[in-house]
Structure 1
Amino acid sequence: MMRLVHVLVIGMLVFAAAYVYRIKMESTVRTEKVLQIQAELRKEREAIARLRAEWAQLDSPGRLQGLAARHLKLKPVGARQFDALKNLPERPPAVVDPSAPDPIASMIEKIDPDIVTGSLPAPEPAQ
């Protein structure tokens, strides 16, 4: 009987050792995966920083002004390029009839002045 207990205890110890070894290997694999992801993240952040620096260089006002001068062939605006006021088109017709009453003003006039808004109580009348 005692041998059977010893064999069972030794078997449980071997099983426990194998289980602990498996957990250790899984944690090692996961640690390596985390380190690999961190390295990829660092590379992506460096790439983003590099692209931002390149964008700042490409977007600099001096560079853009030089490109515009070289490729667009722009000329200064002359005083004769503006049209006279008499040549402007007619004013578009009014959307709202000027003689119609103001709808917002009529809503404001309908408000009861005794209604108190806010969290303060109505003031007491002076005696």
Structure 2
Amino acid sequence: MMRLIHVVVIGMLVFAAAYVYRIKMESTARTEKVLQLHAEVRKEREAIAQLRAEWAKLDAPGRLQGIAERHLKLKPITARQFDQLKNLPARPPSIVNPNDPDPIASMIEKIDPDIVTGALPAREAAQ
């Protein structure tokens, strides 16, 4: 009887050791995956920082000014190019009175919800 108890206890100890070893290996694999993800995130952040620096260089006002002067045939603005406000054309008349209901909303409300929209006829869309 004692021998059977010893064999069962030893078996349980071996099973427990195997289970703990499996848990340790899983946690090691997950730790490696987390470290790999951290490295990827760091690499992507560095790439983003590099792209932002490149964008700042390309977007520099001095550089853009030089490119504009080389490639665009622009002339300086003179005082004769400006006009007075009294010479502006009159504002066009308002088509819709501000107190009237919204004409687009009223058209949307009139749409039948049973109408199928799209490229297929209604009976093909139902199938």
Structure 2 length normalisation: TM-score? Answer: 0.66
- Give 1:28's aligned amino acid: T
Structure 2 unaligned residues grouped into runs of 5+: 95-127
- 2:14 paired with 1:8: no
Report the counterpart of residue 69 of structure 1 in structure 2.
69
Structure 1 unaligned residues grouped into runs of 5+: 95-127
- Give 1:43's aligned amino acid: K
Report the counterpart of residue 49 of structure 1 in structure 2.
49
Task: State the number of aligned residues.
Answer: 95
Matches within 5 A, 1:1-127: 1-83=1-83, 87-90=87-90
Distance in 2 of aligned mates of 1:86 and 1:13: 98
> SS in structure 2 opposite 1:73?
coil
How far is 1:84 from its partner? 5.6
CA RMSD of superposed structures (Å): 2.2
* Structure with max Cα Rg: 1
Identity of aligned residues (%): 83
Q: Which has the higher contact order (CA 8 A, sep 6+)?
A: 2
Q: Deviations over 1:88-118 (max 9, x none)?
A: 3236679xxxxxxxxxxxxxxxxxxxxxxxx
Distance in 1 of aligned mates of 2:18 and 2:91: 90
- Give 2:67's aligned amino acid: L
Distance in 1 of aligned mates of 2:41 and 2:87: 62
Instruction: Assess, with a 3 A threshold, how the Cα gap between structure 1 residues 7 and 68 changes in structure 2: closer, same or farther.
Output: same
Instruction: Assess, with a 3 A threshold, how the Cα gap between structure 1 residues 86 and 10 changes in structure 2: closer, same or farther.
Output: closer
Instruction: Assess, with a 3 A threshold, how the Cα gap between structure 1 residues 2 and 86 changes in structure 2: closer, same or farther.
Output: closer
